[in-house]
Chains A and B, each alone.
Chain A
Amino acid sequence: MIFDLKQYTGIGESCYVGRHASGLEVVVIPKNHASSYALLGTRYGGIDTTFKTQKEEDFVTVPDGIAHFLEHKLFENEDGTDSLRLFTALGARPNAYTSSDMTAYLFSTTDNMYKNLEILLKFVYAPYFTNETVQKEIGIIGQEIRMGKDNPYRNMYYALLESMYEKHPVRIEVAGSEESIARITPEILYRCHSTFYHPSNMTLCVCGGFSPEQVADLCDQYVPRSEKPIIENKFPEEKEGVVVKRVSQKMPVALPLFFAGLKLHDLSLSPMQAYAEHEILLDMLFGTGSDFYGRLYEKGLINDRFECACNVGRSYRYCLWQGESRDPDMVYEQILRELDEVKKAGLDRGAFERCKKSLYGHMVENFNSPMGIGDAFMDWHFLGGSLFALPSAIAAVSYEDVMTCLHRDYQPENMCISIGIPE
Chain B
Amino acid sequence: MSQYGLLRREQLADGVYLNLIAHDKTKTNHLSICFLSDLCPETAAAGSLLARVLIRGCTKYPTLRDVSRQLDACYGADLDIGVEKYGETHVMSFSCNWLKDRFAYDGMKTTQTMLEMAKQILFYPLLETKQDKLAFKEEYVKSEKENLYDAIAAEINNKASYAKKKMYEHMCKNESFSVSVMGEKETIAPITPDELYAYYVMLLKRAPVEIFFAGSGEEDLAKTLQGFFETISRDVYTLSEPKKDIVREEVTAEETMDINQAHLVLGYRMGMNMKDKNYPAFMVFNAMFGGSVSSRLFSVIRETMHLCYTVNSAPESIKGVMMVYAGIAEENREKAYNGIQEQLKVITMGEFTDKELEDARAVLRNQLQSITDSPATLVSWYLARLICGLVDTSPEKTIEALEKVTREAVIAAAAHVTEACVYFLSPERSPA
Contacts and interface: CB of A to CB of B under 8 A. Distances in A.
A88 B260 contact: no
B306 interface: yes
B48 to A, nearest CB: 13
Interface stretch (A122-130, A263-271, A364-372): A364-372
Interface stretch (B12-20, B68-76, B177-185, B235-243): B68-76
29 contacts: A31-B25, A34-B372, A35-B373, A93-B292, A111-B369, A139-B307, A146-B327, A153-B157, A252-B156, A253-B157, A254-B153, A288-B68, A297-B64, A300-B143, A300-B146, A300-B147, A324-B154, A354-B72, A357-B73, A357-B74, A357-B106, A359-B76, A361-B75, A361-B99, A362-B76, A364-B99, A368-B26, A368-B28, A369-B25
A82 B258 CA distance: 36
B391 interface: no
Given A289-B68, A360-B76, A361-B77, A147 B370 contact: no
Given A85-B359, A110-B370, A136-B306, A289 B27 contact: no
Contacts of A11: 27, 103
B72 A289 contact: yes
Contact of A354 (B4, B73, B155, B261): B73
Interface in B129-148: 143, 146-147
A253 B2 CA distance: 48
Closest 9 CB pairs of A and B: A361-B75, A91-B362, A361-B76, A254-B153, A88-B294, A358-B76, A139-B306, A289-B68, A110-B369
A286 B258 CA distance: 34
A288 B294 CA distance: 42
A111 B151 contact: no
A88 B303 CA distance: 15
B409 interface: no
A152 B99 contact: no
A34 B27 contact: no
Nearest to A294: B65
B72 A287 contact: yes
Given A110-B369, A358-B75, A364-B103, A252 B259 contact: yes
A149 interface: yes
A362 B259 CA distance: 36
A252 B76 contact: no
B319 interface: no
A184 to B, nearest CB: 15
Nearest to B77: A361
Contact of A33 (B25, B27, B76, B261): B25
A84 B258 contact: no
Interface of B: 2, 4, 25-28, 63-65, 68-69, 71-77, 97-99, 102-103, 105-106, 143, 146-147, 150-151, 153-160, 257-261, 292-294, 299, 302-303, 306-310, 327-329, 355, 358-359, 362-363, 365-367, 369-370, 372-374
Interface of A: 10-12, 31-35, 82, 84-85, 88-94, 108-111, 136, 139-144, 146-147, 149-153, 251-255, 283, 287-291, 293-294, 297-298, 300, 303-305, 324, 354-355, 357-362, 364-365, 367-370, 395, 423
A146 B260 contact: yes
Contacts of A108: 366, 370
Contacts of A303: 147, 150-151
B108 to A, nearest CB: 8
B28 A143 contact: no
B154 A89 contact: no
A283 B73 CA distance: 12
B75 A254 contact: no
A111 B364 CA distance: 12
Given A108-B366, A151-B159, A303-B150, 4 more contacts: A88-B362, A91-B366, A254-B155, A289-B68
A357 B74 CA distance: 7
Given A297-B64, A354-B72, A368-B26, A111 B366 contact: yes
A360 B309 contact: no
Contact of A254 (B77, B103, B154, B329): B154
B150 A93 contact: no
A252 B294 contact: no
A269 B76 CA distance: 25
A297 B150 CA distance: 13
Contacts of B99: 361, 364-365
A208 to B, nearest CB: 10
B142 to A, nearest CB: 10
A80 to B, nearest CB: 12
Given A85-B294, A88-B292, A354-B73, A150 B366 contact: no
B72 A143 contact: no
A75 to B, nearest CB: 9
Contacts of B153: 254-255
Given A34-B4, A88-B359, A324-B150, A254 B157 contact: yes
B261 A146 contact: yes
Contact of A365 (B27, B69, B363): B27
Contacts of B329: 142-143, 146
